[in-house]
Amino acid sequence: MSRLIEINSLQKRYGAKTVLENISLSFESGTIAGILGPNGSGKTSIMKILAGIIKDYDGEVLIDGSAPNEYTKSIVSYLPEKTYLAEGNKAKYALDFFEDFYTDFDRSKAEEMFRQFKLDPEQKIKSMSKGMQEKVQLILVMSRKTKVYLLDEPLGGLDPASRKAMLDIILNNYSEDAVVLLSTHLISDVERIFDRIIMVGDKKIIVDDSVDNIRQSTGKSVEELFEEVFKC
């Protein structure tokens, strides 16, 4: 177990609006953590900062000891909230692209998952359903053997059966000494795969605990606790 992610007194503003205020968090290897929070709570901002996409923040962010830079990008596999695959291309080109770009990309593993989920590499991205596109992206991201996986809302467009399949992809493929951070609002479906829950709201960390501690101490599921904490 080593500390892979360390965030100290992180602050993020968009213009005059503060979205994250004095956030401190750290993650050890071997963790699958859920980042939960209502819309606009700063989940995506945390992900983007860790991914090295947002650079103007205050505070300290370290991934495997380094502030986000070329090295950390090489050990972070990031699934953005919005699709980034070139729509006009066949899925096959996305495989080529990942293979060219990432030395840790296991193409045969990705192709095997394509077969498993009946995805056709010859099909154009734009002719795929939203659910199929999400599957393609998650397969690409999880086929990298790396230290940090950042999955921003990977389950949004999927039906319940596909969600289960996606969770299996994540459980089957993450490296055991890695950190997986997954943001979602579909809590009940996924809380069983987390060992730690971070609830973000009102710019701060409101809850940071293990799923079983939450259940043991509150007698509630994570979803029930979430609804209570963020009651409108």
Partner 1 sequence: MPKDFSSNAPIYVQIMNEVKLKIVSGGWEPGQRLQSVRELAVEFSVNPNTMQRALSELERDGLLYTERTAGRYVSQDKTKISKARDEMAEEYTDSYYNSMIRLGYGKEDIVGIVSGKSGIKRRKENEQVNRD
- Supply the minimum distance, in Å, between the C-beta of residue 215 and partner 1: 5
Residue with Cβ nearer partner 1 (57 or 174): 174
Q: Are 64 and 39 in contact (CB under 8 A)?
A: no
DSSP summary character for residue 66: B
Binding site for partner 1 (CB under 8 A): 30-32, 164, 167-168, 171-172, 176, 192-195, 211-212, 215-216, 219-221, 223-224
Residue with Cβ nearer partner 1 (31 or 77): 31
DSSP summary character for residue 3: E
Residue 62 phi, psi (nearest 5): -125, 130
Residue with Cβ nearer partner 1 (18 or 213): 213
Q: Please list the residues that pair with 38 across neighbouring strands.
A: none
Residue with Cβ nearer partner 1 (18 or 172): 172
Residue 204 tokens read as 């701060």
Q: How many CA atoms lie within 13 A of 112 on its CB side?
A: 9
- Supply the minimum distance, in Å, between the C-beta of residue 226 and partner 1: 12
- Supply the minimum distance, in Å, between the C-beta of residue 193 and partner 1: 5
Query: Looking at this protein, which amino acid is placed at residue 216?
Result: Q
- Supply the minimum distance, in Å, between the C-beta of residue 72 and partner 1: 25
